[in-house]
Amino acid sequence: MATIQRRGDSYRVWWRLGGTSAGAAQSCTFKGPTPELALEVAELAHELLKARGHDMTRPELYAAMVGDTGDASPATPTVKQWIGTWLTELAKRPDLDPETVRRYRRDLTLRVIPWMGHLRLSDVTPDTIKQWVGWVSSQRATKGSRNKVLTDRTISAQTVRNIFDTLHHCLGAAVPRWIALNPAARPAGARRNPAGLPKVEKHDAVYLTHQERELILHNCRPAMRSMMVVALATGLRIGELIALRVEDVHLHGSGGVVKVRRTLKSGPRKDGRRFGPPKSAAGRRDVTVGVTGARVLREQMVGKHPAEHVFTAPRGGICDPSTLRNNYWLQAIAAAQRCAGHPPPEPPKPAKGVRRHLRVDEVSTCACDTRLHRSPRFHDLRHSHASDLIGAGWSAKKVQVRLGHSNYLLTMNTYGHLFNTGDEGELHAVDTLLLPEKPVRASRSEPARSVHRRTVRRRVAARR
CATH of the domain at 308: 1.10.443.10
Domain stops at, among 151, 172, 193: 172
Say what the pLDDT of residue 70 is: 45
Same domain, 124 and 58: no
Residues 54-113: tens digit of each pLDDT = 888 877 787 777 654 444 455 788 999 999 999 999 999 887 878 788 889 999 998 999
Instruction: Tell me, yes or no, whether 112 and 61 share the same domain.
Output: no
The string of pLDDT tens digits covering residues 405-426 is 988 898 998 888 888 766 666 6
Q: Tell which of 172, 192, 218 closes a domain.
A: 172
Domain boundary among the residues 65, 87, 102 is at 65
Do both 215 and 306 map to the same domain?
yes
pLDDT of amino acid 270: 45
In a domain, 423, yes or no: no
Rounded CA separation 441/439 (Å): 6
Does one domain contain both 152 and 87? yes
Residue 250 within a domain = yes
One domain, residues 140 and 216: no
pLDDT band at residue 434, thresholds of 50, 70 and 90? Answer: low
In which domain, by residue range, is 316 found? 210-345+358-382
The residue with greater pLDDT, 273 or 315, is 315
Q: Which residues contact 260 (CB under 8 A, 6 or more apart)?
A: 236, 240, 244, 248, 278, 283, 284, 285, 286, 287, 404
Question: Is the per-residue pLDDT at 384 higher than 70?
Answer: yes
Beta strands 263-266 and 273-276: pairing type?
antiparallel
Distance between CA atoms of residues 174 and 218, nearest Å: 56
Task: Convert the pLDDT of each residue in 24-45 to its tens digit.
Answer: 788 888 887 788 888 888 888 8
Same domain? 234 vs 375: yes
What pLDDT does 99 receive?
Answer: 79
On whether both 19 and 54 belong to a single domain, the answer is: yes
438 domain-assigned: no
129-183 pLDDT per residue, tens = 999 999 999 988 876 555 466 777 888 899 999 999 999 999 999 988 888 889 9
Instruction: Identify whether 264 is part of a domain.
Output: yes
Total tally of structural domains belonging to the chain: 3
Tens-place pLDDT, residues 122-136: 889 999 999 999 999
What pLDDT is recorded for position 72? 46
Q: Is 183 a member of any domain? A: no
Q: Among candidates 293, 311, 297, 305, which has minimal Cα distance to 241? A: 311
CA–CA separation, 188 and 126 (whole Å): 13
The answer to whether residues 29 and 85 belong to one domain is no
Q: What is the pLDDT of residue 62?
A: 79
Same domain (yes/no): 230, 281: yes
> 300: closest CA among 235, 256, 261?
256
Q: Do 227 and 367 belong together in one domain? A: yes
177 belongs to a structural domain? no
Is the predicted pLDDT of residue 447 greater than 60, yes or no? no
- Asked if residues 286 and 402 have their Cβ atoms less than 8 Å apart, the reply is no
Q: How many other CB atoms are found less than 10 A from the CB of residue 167?
A: 27
Q: Give me the pLDDT at residue 464, please.
A: 62
Give per-residue burial for 296-319: e unless 16+ CB within 10 Å, then b: bbeebbeeeeeeebbbbeeeeeeb
Higher-pLDDT residue of 282 and 150 is 282
User: For the residues 285-293, what does the mean pLDDT come to?
Assistant: 93
Confidence of residue 263 (pLDDT cuts 50, 70, 90): very high
90: domain CATH number is 1.10.150.130
pLDDT at 145: 52
What's the pLDDT score for residue 317? 85
14 inside domain: yes
Residues 275 and 362 reside in one and the same domain: yes
Residue 340 lies in a domain: yes
Q: What is the dihedral of CA 348, 349, 352, 353, to 10 degrees?
A: 110
* Confidence band of 280 (pLDDT split at 50, 70, 90): confident
CA distance 99 to 84: 16
Mean pLDDT of the residues in the chain: 84
In a shared domain, residues 105 and 216: no
94-98, 194-198, 222-226: lowest mean pLDDT where? 94-98
87 or 453, higher pLDDT: 87
